[in-house]
């Protein structure tokens, strides 16, 4: 039997990333507990933090350092005993460390998964999978965190595609009000207003579109011809 996961590399990375962070935290805590038996406190903490952020690099280096110190300790047992004695809080310090680290990881993951960029990235993935309703939800969540004209435009496009024409017009208006520079918004509004049976308002949007750089500069937008024909039809109702 063949099992195939319908998941991209980016989604897979996002899926395993929290587990990788937790695993790094656990390994880092072990390094701290182990290093406390061999090194001063500040060196132990540096080994632990290095393992937390760069486990594939620092952990092998620590294992080598541990072997070296063990051989030295076997050669000079008196010095080893001085390092390992009087270690109060052998377990309490690593426990406090893992609680703090896991707490920081939890806060980081919580904020990262609810950031504007996270919602926009998820919206892009949902759009590629043709999950229209989920895409709309992600754009709305992003706008709840940050009022951005470009996001309003992206949401309007999705709403228009899903048949929510009135809502799409409102979002396009908000995008324009916020300063979104996309000239095609006028054309998109004209199409939506035509669908809603408002030819007069649609014509105004087509005319606005024809006066934008998209239609006055070369090369022209392919939609300029359609907008021009639509305004001509409105001027001559008998031709419609």
User: Mind listing the pLDDT tens digit for each residue in 202-232?
Assistant: 999 999 999 999 898 878 788 999 898 888 7
Q: Residue 146's pLDDT is what?
A: 93
Which residue has tokens 């594939």?
56
Question: Which pLDDT score is estimated for 136?
Answer: 95
- The pLDDT score that the predictor gives to residue 184 is 93
Q: How many CB atoms lie within 10 A of CB 225?
A: 12
Number of other CB atoms surrounding residue 30 within 10 Å: 16
Looking up tokens 């979104």, which residue turns up?
Answer: 180
Ranges of residues in the chain with a pLDDT under 70 are: 1-12, 14, 76-90, 233-240
- Cα 39 to Cα 48: distance, rounded to the nearest angstrom: 12
DSSP state at residue 87: -
Q: Which domains does the chain have, with CATH numbers?
A: 9-96 (no CATH), 148-239 (1.25.40.10)
What pLDDT score was predicted for residue 239?
42
pLDDT of residue 68: 87
- pLDDT, averaged across the chain: 85
C-beta atoms surrounding 212 within 10 Å: 19
pTM here? 0.64
pLDDT tens sequence across 67-92: 888 887 777 655 545 444 445 556 78
CA dist list (Å): 83 to 59, 64, 176: 21, 18, 69
Is residue 5 classed as helix, strand or coil in its secondary structure?
Answer: coil
pLDDT at residue 90, as a whole number: 65
The H or E element that residue 67 is part of is: helix 55-75
Kindly tell me the burial class for residue 185, based on how many C-beta atoms sit within 10 Å of its own C-beta (0-12, 13-18, 19 or more).
buried
pLDDT at position 58 is 94
What is the pLDDT at residue 240? 45
């Amino acid at each position: 039997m063949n099992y195939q996961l319908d998941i991209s590399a980016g989604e897979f990375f996002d899926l395993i990333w929290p587990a990788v962070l937790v695993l790094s935290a656990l390994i880092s805590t072990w390094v701290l507990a182990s290093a406390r038996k061999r090194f001063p406190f500040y060196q132990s903490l540096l080994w632990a933090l290095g393992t937390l952020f760069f486990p594939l690099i620092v952990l092998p280096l620590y294992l080598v350092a541990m072997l070296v110190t063990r051989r030295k300790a076997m050669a000079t047992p008196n010095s080893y005993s001085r390092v390992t004695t009087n270690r109060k809080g052998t377990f309490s310090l690593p426990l406090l460390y893992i609680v703090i680290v896991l707490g920081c990881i939890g806060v980081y993951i919580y904020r990262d998964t609810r950031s504007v960029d996270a919602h926009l990235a998820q919206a892009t993935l949902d759009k590629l999978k043709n999950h229209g309703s989920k895409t709309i939800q992600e754009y709305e969540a992003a706008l709840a965190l940050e009022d951005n004209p470009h996001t309003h435009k992206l949401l309007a496009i999705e709403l228009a595609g899903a048949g929510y024409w009135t809502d799409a017009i409102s979002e396009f208006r908000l995008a324009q009000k916020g300063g979104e520079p996309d000239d095609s918004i006028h054309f998109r509004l004209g199409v939506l207003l035509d669908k809603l049976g408002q030819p007069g308002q649609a014509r105004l949007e087509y005319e606005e579109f024809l006066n934008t750089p998209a239609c006055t500069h070369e090369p022209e937008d392919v939609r300029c011809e359609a907008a021009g024909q639509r305004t001509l039809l409105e001027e001559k109702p008998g031709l419609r």
